[in-house]
Amino acid sequence: MRSLVRLFALVALLASPALAWEHWGGDRGGMRFSPLAQITPDNVGNLVRAWEFRTGDLDRRAPEIMKRTKFQATPLFVEDSLIFCSPFNEVIALDPGTGSQKWRYDPKIATSQRPANRYNCRGVAYWVDPQAGEGAACRARIFMGTNDVRVIALDARTGIPCADFGSNGEVRLEVPPLEWPGEFQITSAPVVVGGVVVVGSAIADNRRVEAPSGTVRAFDAKTGKLRWAFDPLVHGGVIAGHANVWAPMSADEERGLVFLPTSSPSPDFWGGKRPGNNEHANSVVALRAGSGELVWSFQTVHHDVWDYDLPAQPTLARIDTGDGQRDVVIQPTKQGFVFVLDRDTGKPIWPVEERAVPQGGAEGEQLSPTQPFPTHVPALLPQRISADDVFGLIPFRDRAVCRAQVEAARNDGLYTPPSTRGTVVFPMTGGGVNWGGAAFDPVNQILYANTSRAIHIVKLLPRAQTLGFNPPPGHDFGQQLGAPFAMTRALATSPLGLPCNKPPWGEMVAVDLKAGKILWRSRVGTTEDRAPLGIAFHWGTPLVNGLVITAGGLAFTGAMDAYLRAFNARTGEELWQGRLPVPGVANPMTYLWKGEQYVAIGAGGHSESGTTIGDSVVAFRLPRPGEAPSLWSRTIDRPGGRFIGMAIAASLVLLLLAITIWRWRRRRRAPSVR
């Protein structure tokens, strides 16, 4: 029976438009699954680089501007084109087989606005007007939200603005007064459902209590007229700022629903002026797409003071729960939780327990005594770290420094409240599953997710101590104006700059949802592009980006090093690496063009992590008859590679140890100078 179910699921997928990539997450529900099976574990090692396209930003923009960018776009494959947006909201259409430019639209974003979330555009949305005649202008439309808060509609065939949408193809959002132009942006792709375009927003964190609201807006896809606006906190009975939807949204066309992953209220780390659970913040919220009416809401964190907002697109899937097939919403979190909710009611499919969590917040704080914990699906990563668990290449130097950082801070486990002493936040505020979201194989009923592991130390600063305060290097500083405390946040790292928690720092995880069982874990990424001499320790890199799963049995993902990787989706074994010009910290996608399967990814680096910055989209495919092997492609012999890596690591540790002892002995012999 299970085999028949899988067969029918695969037939349905092959008969659907999924052979294209019409939405940011592959489909409106963000499953990131493709029924394409031309590339398999047996032949993936033969992949060649098909083409590389450069947007030209590196050549045309000043270096200081490029340092404020994130190239996180996933191309759509629609209208016989690959269509994506650059960090500066230029929309570009490429030939799928050659990567040559077909058209380009530049909205002329000002580069003086100092965007809080850097210049970023994760993707665009596609919609076909069912009432327009074949060949009519703007029958097929591309929608994009911009860094300067516009919503733009373009003809998907030509890139020409749709004159009937707003004013000459654009609508400018009405937002409250801002501290500076870059405080408010749109960075994730809109969703289109039932002829309505829905957009969220990205807003600067930790600036002030009276911050802009996180209102979600919907516009008529034809005219651009505002159809509705939904402020999560106002509808939850709280007057406060943020709870915005900066992450990608999902939609169910048949039900006419749009699903919002909301963020935390402002400011992130002190909530004394927003008492209660702050309902509809930190929640999966289902709205009627046509009216904005609230259908249901499920909160994953009560009264958030840890920046544990929902960063990932809700994944819409149909799963076998053991009691029959159910349409569900799967929501992964920064903490590594996976909540599985009924799509019609928002009720958990499996029990979620309210458990007591650490108390004793800062002065004026009103913490929730409990937090929700899923009981069926295990956490995707550890949620507690002690001083005994820290990592360091040199035990009495690096490890000692890391141990001191953890010991000095308050550390009572998950949901330890921020404090003036400093608090360990683990998983970190950018940990667990981030904006790349999860992927779901509907045939084999397996969920896949990239995860990150690192420690944040968050410290509250009494207002009197902030006058003239300059944060140490590597520390984020938030004024939290209107609150009695400002805040600093820093990664816990060793003197060598390595995370203080033990590797892996980035890992792909596969989960059998029905059984509530983790099937495998696989480290993703090495230190090759960051360590001296290109030493490739197989420790994993942080993975804010997502992955794509194929019916061919593969999982493709990028990382913080400059490779696109393929893993065996059944076992987690790494099979292949394709070299990129810079790290591909974006979600890959796959498509079929003239009988050939391609895998493409945006390669622009990650400015916040200090990688090399780029402006490329790169595509790979299987070789054609007589085509030479690619110098940009290599298979993985992990056992041998691990042995070599361990040998190099041991040699490096011994070298560092010798240097440290030599320097210590010299200091002992040197006369004291006063």
Enumerate the active-site residues: 307
Q: Which residues contact 245 (CB under 8 A, 6 or more apart)?
A: 188, 200, 201, 214, 216, 260, 261, 262, 263
Based on the number of CB atoms within 10 Å of its own CB, is 238 exposed (0-12), middle (13-18) or buried (19 or more)? Answer: buried
If you write DSSP's letter for every residue of 151-199 in order, what string do you get?
Answer: EEEEETTT--B-TTTBBTTEEE------SSGGGEE--SPPEEETTEEEE
d(CA 153, CA 144): 7
Based on the number of CB atoms within 10 Å of its own CB, is 468 exposed (0-12), middle (13-18) or buried (19 or more)? Answer: exposed
d(CA 574, CA 569): 9
Buried-exposed string 59-73: b where 16+ CB fall within 10 A, e elsewhere: eebeeeebebbbbbb
d(CA 113, CA 635): 44
d(CA 82, CA 104): 12
If you write DSSP's letter for every residue of 363-411 in order, what string do you get?
Answer: TT----SEEEEESSSPPSS-----GGGB--SSIIIIIHHHHHHHHHSB-
Q: Which residues contact 101 (CB under 8 A, 6 or more apart)?
A: 53, 92, 93, 94, 95
Query: Taking Cα atoms as reference points, which of 350, 236, 397, 216 lies closest to residue 291?
Result: 216
Ranges of beta strands (E only) in 42-169 are 48-54, 69-70, 76-78, 81-85, 91-94, 101-105, 119-120, 125-128, 140-145, 150-155
Pairing of strands 140-145, 150-155: antiparallel
Q: Which residues contact 532 (CB under 8 A, 6 or more apart)?
A: none
| Residue 45, CA distances (Å) to 36, 42, 92, 578, 624 in order | 17, 7, 30, 9, 14
3-state helix vs strand vs coil in the chain, percent to 5: 15, 35, 55
Backbone phi and psi for residue 465, each to the nearest 5 degrees, phi listed first: -90, -5
If you write DSSP's letter for every residue of 643-655 in order, what string do you get?
Answer: HHHHHHHHHHHHH
Determine the length of the chain.
Answer: 674
Query: Taking Cα atoms as reference points, which of 149, 150, 53, 68 lies closest to residue 104?
Result: 53
Q: Which two tokens stand for residue 544?
A: 């804010």
Positive or negative, the CA dihedral 489, 493, 495, 497 is negative
Residue in the structure block whose two tokens are 């159910």: 326
Rg (CA), the chain: 24
d(CA 501, CA 16): 44
The residue type found at 402 is C
Q: Which residues contact 61 (CB under 8 A, 6 or more apart)?
A: 88, 111
